[in-house]
Amino acid sequence: MTNAQPNDIDQALSEPLVAPFAGWVVHPDWAERVISRAYDNLSPLQRQSLVASNPYSYMNVTRSREDLFDNADLSHEDLVAQGAAALTRLLNANAFVPTGRPALYLYRLTHKLGMQTGVVCTVPVQGFGDGRIRIHENVHDERADLLTAHLQGVGATSSPVAMAVRSTAELYNQLFDITAAAPADLEFGSTAVRHQVWTVPHDYTESLAAAFNNQVLYVTDGHHRSAAAVRAWAAESTNPALARTLAVVFPDEQLQVQAFHRLAVDQHSRGTEDCLAALDDVTEVTPVFSSRQARPPQRGVVGLYLGGSWHQLELPPAVGNGAVNGLDVERLRRSILSPVLGADELAQPGAVEYLPASLGVDELARRCDAENRVGFALHPMTVRELMAVADENGLMPPKSSFFAPKPRSGVFLRVLGRGATSHLPAS
């Protein structure tokens, strides 16, 4: 992320941290067809099937190469053009309805582990540079570049960057008052996760936005989207529509964090025994009899899948005293992935792939067998650990944390007045 210059900061700080926007919301009759499942919860094959079978899924707008069949040669321009065409199809079908006024929204997810209620809003892109919005993960440039081209060429966004804010009684009270006063405007989902949306009444909008004054926001999901917003704004700093980006902000105490497991390619192409010996040279590796036994019971222990068998691996001690250095994802990267396997996840696209823990360690094993990879099952971090890294301006490897359940794409639409929305006023 770029840093704001001193003469920019005073102007940036005058901008509200959380602000309403004149967005569009999916029509209830279209919700089932348009709203797409969380991208990271789906395998490439599942995304391909969804895109091919449902032309109205919002995933057709946000597609990447792996979401399409036989798409290896598609350029960013091709993908953006197809995304713009998919958005035009949705707009022509009147799948989204303009709200007609700047508004905030509440987005609630109810699931077996609890409930989280966030505020859907826009936040200032300059906040990423002046310290009001803090990140904690590195990004892959290719993915960030594609999302930047998407903003510039498609001309709308429907995937809010998920953020956390430290919980306060004032925020909790306002969220309760608004949701208790009226039924939700939109409901969808399943018995596993129930999604509800409220439009914040006009007389609550100012006070709810003010509840975020003097607060810091922490990106929990959407680092590539955040990077894309920064890059698009840097390229067109005179475009007011790009000065803010779509976000949903949740109280930190309500969030559930899961791990992202790693699937690495041994760049030395060793057999199972030689690879195990190389790992055993740097740390203790213990065979176990099942995937259940391999699940890491605590920090510092990683489940290892290699050559059809499960093991437990103790991570070497942290190098350095920073908050990021003590995290399992960083200890794994520094002591195992790069030095032992030669898999530099920061510099080698594809050397390390990621699997959300919600898909299970058996899926990790299946993919390792199919792709000849080495699997690492990690223990999740906490939200406060994430915040500590961000407060120190530390950066974890990509895909270090997985927040579930997630807000969906295709619920809200923020129009940027360009590309497929060039005939519409920006919101």
Q: What is the pLDDT of residues 207-253, one digit of tens each?
A: 999 999 999 999 999 999 999 999 999 999 989 999 999 999 999 99
Average pLDDT, the chain: 91
Write out the H or E segment, with its range, that includes residue 391. Answer: helix 383-391
Of 65-69, 196-200, 212-216, 290-294, the least confident:
65-69
N- to C-terminal Cα distance for the chain? 24
Longest dimension (CA), the chain: 67
> Residue 187 in contact with residue 195, Cβ under 8 Å?
yes
The residue assigned the tokens 């904690």 is 136
Spell out the residues 6+ positions from residue 151 whose beta carbon is closer than 8 angstroms to its own: 157, 228, 229, 232, 242, 416
> Residue 27 in contact with residue 94, Cβ under 8 Å?
yes
The mean pLDDT value for 147-152 works out to 93
> Residue 197 in contact with residue 25, Cβ under 8 Å?
yes
Pair of tokens at residue 292:
């259940």
Of 2-16, 101-115, 328-342, 391-405, the least confident:
2-16
Pair of tokens at residue 100:
């007609």
Q: What is the pLDDT of residues 252-263, one digit of tens each?
A: 999 988 899 999
- 250 has which bridge partners? 164
Compute the distance between CA of residue 219 and CA of residue 385 in angstroms, rounded to an integer: 13
Alpha helices by DSSP H, listed for 54-108, are: 76-92
Compute the distance between CA of residue 82 and CA of residue 146 in angstroms, rounded to an integer: 13
The share of the chain scoring above pLDDT 90, in percent, equals 74
The residue assigned the tokens 């080495």 is 374
Compute the distance between CA of residue 276 and CA of residue 366 in angstroms, rounded to an integer: 19
Spell out the residues 6+ positions from residue 362 whose beta carbon is closer than 8 angstroms to its own: 291
Pair of tokens at residue 158:
């429907």
Single-letter amino acid code for the residue at 416: L
> Residue 38 in contact with residue 193, Cβ under 8 Å?
no
Rg (CA), the chain: 22
The residue assigned the tokens 């939700």 is 184
Compute the distance between CA of residue 263 and CA of residue 197 in angstroms, rounded to an integer: 36
Compute the distance between CA of residue 151 and CA of residue 76 in angstroms, rounded to an integer: 12
The pLDDT of residue 8: 47
405 cis-preceded (ω within 30 degrees of 0)? yes
> Residue 372 in contact with residue 363, Cβ under 8 Å?
no
- CA separation, residue 407 to residues 118, 241, 304, 319 (Å): 9, 23, 31, 36
Query: pLDDT band at residue 68, thresholds of 50, 70 and 90?
Result: low
Q: Please determine, for residue 269, whether its predicted confidence score (pLDDT) is greater than 90.
A: yes
Cα–Cα nearest to 351, from 140, 148, 145: 140
The residue assigned the tokens 């509200």 is 16
The residue assigned the tokens 């936040």 is 123
Q: What is the pLDDT of residues 329-383, one digit of tens each?
A: 999 999 999 999 999 988 888 899 999 998 899 999 999 999 999 999 999 998 9
Pair of tokens at residue 424:
């519409």
The pLDDT of residue 406: 86
Q: Please determine, for residue 6, whether its predicted confidence score (pLDDT) is greater than 60.
A: no
> Residue 387 in contact with residue 252, Cβ under 8 Å?
yes
The residue assigned the tokens 């396997």 is 341
Q: Do you know the residue count of the chain? A: 427
The pLDDT of residue 45: 78
DSSP string, 122-155: EEETTHHHHTSEE--B---HHHHHHHHHHHHHH-
Query: pLDDT band at residue 14, thresholds of 50, 70 and 90?
Result: low
Compute the distance between CA of residue 85 and CA of residue 373 in angstroms, rounded to an integer: 37
Dihedral sign, Cα of residue 61, residue 62, residue 65, residue 68: negative
The residue assigned the tokens 């109810």 is 110
> Residue 122 in contact with residue 245, Cβ under 8 Å?
yes
